[in-house]
């Protein structure tokens, strides 16, 4: 977040790094969970049938080639429980893309699973 102010005719900008109780860190072990809130729900390519992208306040992004109806019914600000379901194996060092997370919207009680990347480790 950036705050701008004008003092004595001089504009300044201060970057503020905000933390939130709703933006808990991502679970790191399979079966681990954390709570966060939905930051954005959109389509993968900006067209209705191009899949689903969900962004969370804790930095997680879930992306799917499929339309995930429960995710699409979610709203910005909804509280969500996110659990790590699986981690890809045999990835190149430093590339752990493709972790699967289960999200449960605490307002609607609907759940969905999706990876954190379009492609699993090393995939294109």
Q: How many CB atoms lie within 10 A of CB 11?
A: 8
- The yes-or-no verdict on residue 19 having pLDDT over 50 is no
Ordered by start, the domain boundaries in the chain are 21-115
- pLDDT tens string 107-120: 999 999 999 987 77
With 0.85 as the threshold, say if the pTM is over it: no
- The yes-or-no verdict on residue 41 having pLDDT over 50 is yes
The closest alpha carbon to 70, from 44, 103, 32, belongs to 103
- The yes-or-no verdict on residue 7 having pLDDT over 70 is no
- pLDDT tens string 21-38: 434 588 889 999 999 999
DSSP H helices in the chain = 69-72
pLDDT score of 24:
58
- The yes-or-no verdict on residue 4 having pLDDT over 60 is no
- The span from the CA of 63 to the CA of 18, in Å, is 25
Residue-by-residue DSSP string for 75-101: -TT-EEEEEEEE--SSPPTT--TT-EE
Environment class of 70 (CB within 10 Å of its CB; exposed 0-12, middle 13-18, buried 19+): middle
Within 8 A by CB and 6+ apart from 14, the residues are: 2, 3, 4, 5
At 42, which helix (H) or strand (E)? strand 33-42
pLDDT score of 37:
97
pLDDT score of 12:
35
- pLDDT tens string 45-99: 877 788 999 999 999 999 999 999 999 999 999 999 999 999 988 888 877 788 9
């Amino acid at each position: 977040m950036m705050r701008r102010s004008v003092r004595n005719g001089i504009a300044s900008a201060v970057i503020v790094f905000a933390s939130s109780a709703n933006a808990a860190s991502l679970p790191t072990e399979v079966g681990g969970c954390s709570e966060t809130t939905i930051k954005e729900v959109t389509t993968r390519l900006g067209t209705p049938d191009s899949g689903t992208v969900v962004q969370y306040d804790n930095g997680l992004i879930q992306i799917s080639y499929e339309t995930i109806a429960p995710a699409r019914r979610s709203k910005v600000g909804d509280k969500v429980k996110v659990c790590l379901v699986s981690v890809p194996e045999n990835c190149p060092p430093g590339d752990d893309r493709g972790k699967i997370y289960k999200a449960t919207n605490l307002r609607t009680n609907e759940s969905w699973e999706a990876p954190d990347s379009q492609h699993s480790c090393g995939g294109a």
